[in-house]
């Protein structure tokens, strides 16, 4: 299984693309502005989109991508998400005001898009890949994802704040790597709490949820461009100095658009 990072920034700026991951060539996890780096041929090969939640930085390229490949598709693009996310897309995006309702175009019998409701904890099998919806704690209905293809799992937290159920489930999985958000610096931790995002100080406490003996690379994502360097320095500092206890260490790395992983 191959994972390609299309975008992993918390906002846009030069060379900053918002959240999207391409799994092999047929599954997209979130559809932020990073999708714009795909060719038309690459977009056409995507048959499934799994959304973590409805916020713009995670869905911005979705309506544009559907339009870009509309003339080439003979089957609907399947969009998988929580019921609240689907309702938000229907009400606020695919509503014939902001964007055409592609669930009825070219016809209700043969649409360009179909929505498929996910439940928390549900596992779907897509072309030899197992995709599980994981708990997330955000301001709108949200999930993370664990994806595997007969081996260890690639895990993405989605947008989240403190989230004990996430760590409980994570400790039951054979994890190859964890992608976890840290959107704000410690000086903005009040904003992080209000918007239900992590800051380095809270991330440090959350990582205590990893069971003893479990060790895997932890990649930081979703940093705000104006604070990325500060967040990086704060995370590096806590990981070097925090007294986590005997035998506890973290392999913390920085996610970047364009990275590819083979699992």
Q: How does pLDDT run along the chain (263 residues), one tens digit per residue?
A: 999 999 999 999 999 999 999 999 999 999 999 999 999 999 999 999 999 999 999 999 999 999 999 988 989 999 999 999 999 999 999 999 999 999 999 999 999 999 999 999 999 999 999 999 999 999 999 999 999 999 999 999 999 999 999 999 999 999 999 999 999 999 999 999 999 999 999 999 999 999 988 889 999 999 999 999 999 999 988 776 555 555 556 889 999 999 999 99
Between CA 47 and CA 101 the distance in angstroms is 18
pLDDT at residue 249 in the model: 66
Between CA 190 and CA 231 the distance in angstroms is 15
Residue 86, Cβ density class (10 Å: 0-12 exposed, 13-18 middle, ≥19 buried): buried
Strands annotated E in the chain: 2-7, 20-23, 27-29, 48-50, 77-82, 113-118, 123-126, 129-135, 143-148, 153-156, 175-181, 217-221, 251-254, 260-262
Task: Give the count of beta carbons closer than 10 Å to the beta carbon of residue 226.
Answer: 11
Contact status, residue 22 vs residue 46, Cβ threshold 8 Å: yes
pLDDT at residue 248 in the model: 59
SS3 assignment, position 57 = helix
Q: How far is CA 233 from the centre of its chain?
A: 23
**Ramachandran region of residue 53, left (φ > 0), alpha (ψ -120 to 50) or beta?**
beta
pLDDT at residue 218 in the model: 95
Between CA 55 and CA 61 the distance in angstroms is 12
Strands of 143-148's sheet in order across: 123-126, 129-135, 143-148, 153-156, 175-181, 217-221, 251-254
Q: Which residues contact 44 (CB under 8 A, 6 or more apart)?
A: 69, 72, 73
pLDDT at residue 179 in the model: 98
Between CA 246 and CA 212 the distance in angstroms is 9
- DSSP string for 91-150: HHTBSSSSB--TTSSB-SSSBSEEEEEE-TT-EEEETTEEEEEEE---SSS-EEEEEESS
Between CA 177 and CA 218 the distance in angstroms is 6
C-alpha distance from residue 119 to each of 9, 160, 213 (Å)? 27, 17, 30
Radius of gyration of the chain (CA): 18
pLDDT at residue 105 in the model: 95
pLDDT at residue 210 in the model: 93
């Amino acid at each position: 299984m191959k994972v390609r990072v299309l975008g992993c920034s918390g906002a846009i700026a030069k060379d900053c693309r918002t959240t999207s991951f391409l799994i092999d060539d047929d599954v997209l996890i979130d559809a932020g502005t990073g999708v714009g780096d795909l060719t038309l041929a690459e977009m056409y090969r995507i048959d499934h989109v799994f959304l973590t939640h409805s916020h713009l930085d995670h869905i911005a390229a979705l309506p544009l991508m559907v339009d870009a490949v509309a003339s080439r598709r003979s089957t609907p693009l399947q969009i998988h998400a929580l019921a609240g996310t689907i309702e938000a897309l229907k009400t606020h995006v695919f509503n014939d005001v902001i964007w055409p309702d592609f669930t009825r175009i070219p016809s209700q019998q043969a649409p360009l898009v179909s929505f498929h409701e996910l439940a928390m904890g549900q596992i779907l099998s897509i072309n030899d890949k197992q995709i599980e919806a994981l708990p997330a704690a955000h301001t709108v209905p949200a999930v993370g994802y664990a994806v595997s293809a007969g081996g260890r799992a690639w895990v993405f937290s989605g947008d989240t704040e403190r989230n004990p159920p996430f760590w409980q489930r994570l400790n039951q999985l054979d994890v190859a790597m964890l992608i976890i958000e840290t959107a704000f610096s410690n000086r903005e931790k009040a904003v992080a709490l209000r918007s239900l995002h992590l800051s380095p100080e809270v991330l440090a406490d959350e990582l205590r949820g990893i069971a003893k003996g479990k060790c895997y690379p932890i990649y930081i994502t979703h940093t705000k461009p104006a604070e990325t360097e500060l967040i990086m320095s704060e995370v590096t500092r806590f990981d070097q100095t925090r007294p986590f206890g005997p035998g506890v260490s973290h392999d913390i790395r920085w996610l970047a658009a364009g990275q590819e992983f083979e699992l």
